[in-house]
A and B are shown apart, each in its own frame.
Chain A
Amino acid sequence: MHEFYSWVESLAFSTWIRESGSLWSYPIVLTLHTMGLAILVGFNWAVDFRLLGFGETVPLSSMAKYFPVMWFGFWINLFSGIILLMADATTKMTSWVFGVKMIFIVIGMIVLRKIQVKVFHSIDQKDKLSYISPDAKVLAMVSLVCWVMATTAGRLMAYLGPQVGLTGPQIK
């Protein structure tokens, strides 16, 4: 596998992202990754807070409109994340912190999908300030924690585990 990661890293595109020094390479991709995080995690937290009993006068059914927003954030981050991964494949694929981050993202996205399908698709349209089941509250709690953990692990990739060859500012 290591040869494959080295090969990905050596591609002209990966090298350009990593080494060009252009603001349009690594810096912009990293910025997009942070924007996607804010959109996905921020809006998901708002939905989680609502499910946990906060802001009860907001009709749950109307919060369904935030799911496309969250998915938009997710696609930005999948796309930008793959580019960042390509640029430093050997380091990131051998980093336990990256592994932890991926686990929480997978759980977080499964829970997001469950909330979307199980909780939002079964809202009683007549009773818009709908009753929230204990199961939905558990999902919201898990979602909240997963995104805290994923964000934390993502941030700590710059400090723990194997580090990218570039030293200093580039990796933070």
Chain B
Amino acid sequence: MNLIIEMNKWLMTTNLSHAIAGRQPWIWPLCETLHFIGLALLIGCIGVLDLRMLGVAKDMSIHSIHKFVPWGIAGFILNLITGITFYIGAPFQYVHNFAFQMKLLFIAIAGFNVMYFYLGGVLHKVEALGPGANPPLSAKIVSLVSIVMWFGVLYWGRMLPFVGNAF
């Protein structure tokens, strides 16, 4: 924790941090806008795969709807970049913020879920399924966890100003 606080103190001395925090007043609103575009991309383009694995639109193969995932990943990367930008601009409004800590925890769980999907053999199982096939329970659990976690990340993000005091 001390190391993080030292790093935050150093961050706040940088020109980049000053620029983000308001010296360039357009950076923060621009990043907020991109952050929302990214979250919609993530939830929509991962959501189509999640819903398919839960049984919505069964006549598409999981292999084909899986092609939308790169758009969701693009949304995640956009949000990672803009999120890091917010942090650099005002690290201390996040580091002690309970909502921020919960947001990171939910992102981590969502991340492990993704790893389990790709490395735990779930994708391999469902990709072999044709249109109309019912996915195994493991795939349904992964989808449910994905939906709950990403909406949870959104919830904690939205709560940053209310639970903590981030702007």
Contacts and interface: CB of A to CB of B under 8 A. Distances in A.
Contacts of B36: 34, 37, 151, 154-155
Contacts of B64: 55, 57-59
Nearest to B44: A42
Contact of B41 (A26, A45, A57): A45
B159 interface: yes
B127 interface: no
A161 B61 CA distance: 47
A156 interface: yes
Main secondary structure of the interface of A (DSSP, over half): helix
Given A57-B63, A62-B57, 20 more contacts: A23-B163, A31-B154, A31-B158, A34-B39, A35-B155, A37-B36, A38-B151, A44-B44, A55-B65, A55-B67, A57-B61, A57-B67, A66-B51, A66-B57, A69-B47, A69-B56, A151-B40, A156-B29, A158-B32, A169-B165
Interface of A: 23, 26-27, 30-31, 34-35, 37-39, 41-46, 49, 54-55, 57-59, 61-63, 65-66, 69, 128, 147-148, 151-152, 154-156, 158-160, 168-170, 172
